[in-house]
Every structure is written in C-alpha cells, then in structure tokens.
Amino acid sequence: MNFRSLRFRITAWYAGLLAGALLIFGISVYLGLERYLYGDLQRSLGRDCRTIANQLLSQRPFKRPDWLNTEIEEAYSPELNNHFIRVIQDGVGVVYLSSPPKDGTFDPAQVPLPIGDEKNGARKASLSTGRLLVDTVQYAAKDGARFTVESGVLYRQVEVVLHGLLVTFAVYMPFIISLAIVSGYWLMRRSLQPVDEITERAEGITSTNLSERLPVIRTGDELERLSKALNHMIERLDGAFQHVHRFSADASHELRTPLTILQLELEGIAQNNLLTSSLADQIGSALEETHRMSHIVENLLVISRFDAGEAKMNLSRLDLGTLAASTAEQMRLLADEKGILFRTSVTGNVYVEGDRPRLQQVIVNLVANAVNYTPEAGEVEVIVRSNGRKALLEVADTGVGISDEALPHVFERFYRADKARSRDSGGAGLGLAIVKAICTAHGAEIRVSSHEGRGSRFTVELPLARVTENTLDQSALRTH
Ligand code: ADP
C-alpha cells in the first residue's frame, strides 16, 4: 500500500476525524448519562425521605410502637429492593434501620451516622462492600421532636448501566471505524479511478502522439475540469509542435534549391582549367562541404516530414528477411574494404507491413554505422527472425561500442558520441534519428544494447503482418 497516495491519506483523515467525533460523542453521552442517572437517583431518594417524614413521622404519636417499622417495610420493602432506610430521632437515637438486603451486598449498620452538613442533602458513604448514595432530610414534628431521615442505594445500580454503555461503545466503535475505513477506501478508489485512467493515458502521450487526447469524465466536477484543462494543454502543445515541425520541414525544403544551385556553380568553377591549384583545392573543399550540407538538409527534411506527419508511406506486405539479405549484400563491399567479417543470418518468410525503401534505409543506416564504428578484423552481423509475435531485425557489431552516458541519446538529432570520429565518417548525428522516425511510423520499436569496447546491438521489433495461406510455406534459413 502506498502511504503517500491521496487515497490512503484521505481515508486516514476521514477515519481519524470519525474516530475523534465518535470519541467526543461517546464521552458526552457517558458523562450526560452519568449525571442524569445520579440526579434521578438522588431525586428519588429525596422523595422517599420526604414521604417517610411527611406521611409517616407526621402521624406521631404512633398507634403502636412498631407502627413506623411496619409502614416503612410495607411501603418500601428495603430488604428486597437493596434499599437502605434509617430514621434517627434527636436525643433518642436510631428509631428505624432497614434490614440487610437479601443478597447481602451491604450492611446497613455499617453506614456512618450523618454529621454536620451531611444532615441535609446527598452524600457518599463508603462501606467495605461498596459505596452507597445516601440522601438525608431533616424533619421537625408538631410535638417538637426532630428527625433525620436517610434513604440510600448502592452506586453499583448506576455503575452497571454505565459499564454496559462502555462495553457497547468498546464493541461498536471499532466496528463502525473499521467499516468507515473500508467503505471510505472503496469510495476513494471509485472516485479516483478516473484519475488513474487519466494518468495512465497521459503517461503514454509523447511528442510523437500528441494528437491523442485524455478521456474526459463527464461528472461535472473538478475531475472533468482537470481532464478538459489537460486536453487543452495537450492541444496547445500539439499546435506548437506542429508549428516547429512545419518550420523545420519548410526551412529544409527552402534550403534545398539554393544548395543545389551552389553545388552546380561550384562544380562549374571546379572544371575551369584556368584555376590555380590552390584555388582549385579551395573550391574542391567548399564543394565537399556543400555536399555534406545537402546531405544534412535532405536528412532533416525526411525527419521533419515524419514529425509533421507528412511523410508518405507506401505500405505493402514484404518479407523482411529477403529485404535485409539483399540490402546487406549490397553493403558487403563496405565491410570487405575494412577487412570486417560480415555475416547475415536471415530467416525467410518474416512478413511485415512496411514501406520498402524506408525499411531499406533503416537497414542501410544501421549497417553503415556498424561498419563505421567497428575497427578492422571486427565482425558485423545482420539477423532477421521472428519470435512468434514480432519480426526482429538485429544489427550487431564487435566495434567500439557506446558508453553508458551516450546510450540514451544516440537516437537524438545531431547527437554524436564521438564528434571527431563521426564527422570523419561523414556523419552528422541524423542517421539513427531517421531510423527511429521510420520505426515509429511503422509502429515498430528500436532498442540498443552496447558495451564500450566490445560492440553494440541494435534491435528493431516490427509487428508481424497477418498470416495468409501463401505465406505458410516452410521458412528458409539462409546464412552467408
Ligand atoms: P552519425 O551519422 O554520427 O553516425 P547516427 O545518428 O547514425 O549519427 O549515430 C549517432 C551516434 O551514435 C554516433 O555518432 C555514434 O557515436 C553512435 N553510434 C551509432 N551506431 C553505433 C555503433 N554501431 N557503434 C558505436 N557507436 C554507434
């Protein structure tokens, strides 16, 4: 789980706030209920005291000596109700004391006599078996006798209810919080799903497919605004890229004609017999640079057209093996001249949908580089095979290799790892950029692996053309 993800953070906040709210709610309910229960109990004890005083003690002198006892026992059954009742007459002492309750939870004789302020109001009496809430009322009879009436019950009555509430909270709160976490996480997942989709699509958009757009979520919320805003941004980028591509294409195109004229003029001058030898050398060198410049402009024009989507592709079904074998054969001389061992290992019947001259150019550029950057007595190999899903064209050499720093840049325009060597061989750093552009236009991928000083391997992975009956003949392996 990603702890930094929005999904996790919002769910954690949500669960934390909910837990906090539930805790405050629980504490308030607990304290409120505690107050209410004690208040209610105290009121009911006070009522008992007043009833005993006003209805029983007021009837002095009593008909019988045990009349008060009988009346209280009958009215309140303290023994059965775990009720403590005591009546004290000033100057006489305790005139009534309830019997110990049946369950023996406390002993009424142990309850200390009220002193001072305790004679009027509620108090807490601590016994060895528990605490008792006792309310006390003073009563003065008509005959001048003064009484203290006490009524009490065990705190446990209230504590049992409060404990029950605590247990309920302890059981249900974690359950509610867990439920909130699970449902919150699920809800977040659901509502952030479109963000994942947008991210995935946005990651796939590069300078080569700026015409694609992100999915717009029609929810009318911030996400819809975000996806629309991103799409507008991609649209503007697309426009800017188109502009740059058009500019490069137009500039290369416009440079072509003056360069051709310049070349022709220089060739005309070079043929003039009246030139001194030093002037002829200078013209020759200028002509050479003009050739190089024309070559660069031509290559730039090809790349710009691919970028601007203007390159015309004549797609046809062709056997990559046959194409590679014949193209490589035409280049064998180049390798022979340098004393390089040149091999082709080509499987026939590897059919692809492609533009023949363009794919030929891919092979030419890769093989030319391999020969260029491989010293004498090295080896260059061209391989065509199929891995069942893709057609693979590999050009491997045992040459100088490419350093780890240079490797990620070799397909960039005008990038040359070794400027001096590349310029000597006439390269301007556009060969691999063209290869890449052609591969992209064919939906192909190009990879390179290389070890400095040990050689390089370029691999082009093209989608295989759909198989038809006449291509199902036995594949032939030709090794030269
Ligand atoms: P260039 O025209 O300079 O060869 P490329 O675009 O064809 O330009 O290649 C770019 C750079 O990649 C080259 O300058 C060279 O440093 C490196 N490179 C390409 N192919 C090879 C290879 N087979 N072996 C070593 N380096 C290579």
Q: What is the pLDDT of residues 398-447, one digit of tens each?
A: 999 999 999 999 999 989 887 666 566 667 889 999 999 999 999 999 99
What is the distance between the alpha carbons of residues 256 and 434, in angstroms, rounded to a whole number?
A: 18
Give ∠ CA 334-339-340 in degrees, rounded to 5.
75
Give the fold, CATH level 3, of 222-308: Helix Hairpins (1.10.287)
- The structure's pTM equals 0.61
Domain spanning 6-162, CATH class: alpha beta
Q: Is the pLDDT score of 472 beyond 70?
A: no
Nearest to 316 by CA among 363, 365, 357: 357
Please report, for the chain, the start and end positions of each structural domain, with discontinuous segments joined by +: 6-162, 222-308, 315-479
Say how many Å lie between the CA of residue 91 and the centre of ligand 1. Answer: 121
Q: What is the DSSP string of 311-370?
A: ----EEEEEHHHHHHHHHHHHHHHHHHTT-EEEEEEES--EEEEEHHHHHHHHHHHHHHH
With a 6 Å cutoff on the Cβ, whether 378 touches ligand 1 is: no
By CB atoms closer than 10 A (0-12, 13-18, 19+), residue 272 is exposed
Share of the chain above pLDDT 70, in %: 95
Is residue 471 pLDDT above 60, yes or no?
A: no
If you measure from the C-alpha of residue 407 to the centroid of ligand 1, how many angstroms do you get, rounded to a whole number?
10
Instruction: Tell me whether strands 341-347 and 379-386 are parallel, antiparallel or unpaired.
Output: parallel
d(CA 215, CA 208): 18
- Rounded Cα–Cα distance for residues 385 and 461 (Å): 10
Q: Say what percent of the chain tops pLDDT 90.
A: 64
Is there a common fold for 222-308 and 315-479? no
Q: Is the shortest distance between the CB of 436 and ligand 1 below 6 Å?
A: no
Q: What mean pLDDT do residues 120-125 have?
A: 88
CA of 367 to the centre of ligand 1 (A): 11
What CATH homologous superfamily does 315-479 map to?
Histidine kinase-like ATPase, C-terminal domain (3.30.565.10)
- pLDDT tens-digit readout, 262-281: 999 999 999 988 888 899 99
Cα-to-centroid distance, 449 and ligand 1 (Å): 13
What's residue 222's pLDDT?
86
How long a stretch of residues is the chain? 480
pLDDT per residue as tens digits for the range 232-256 = 999 999 999 889 888 888 998 899 9
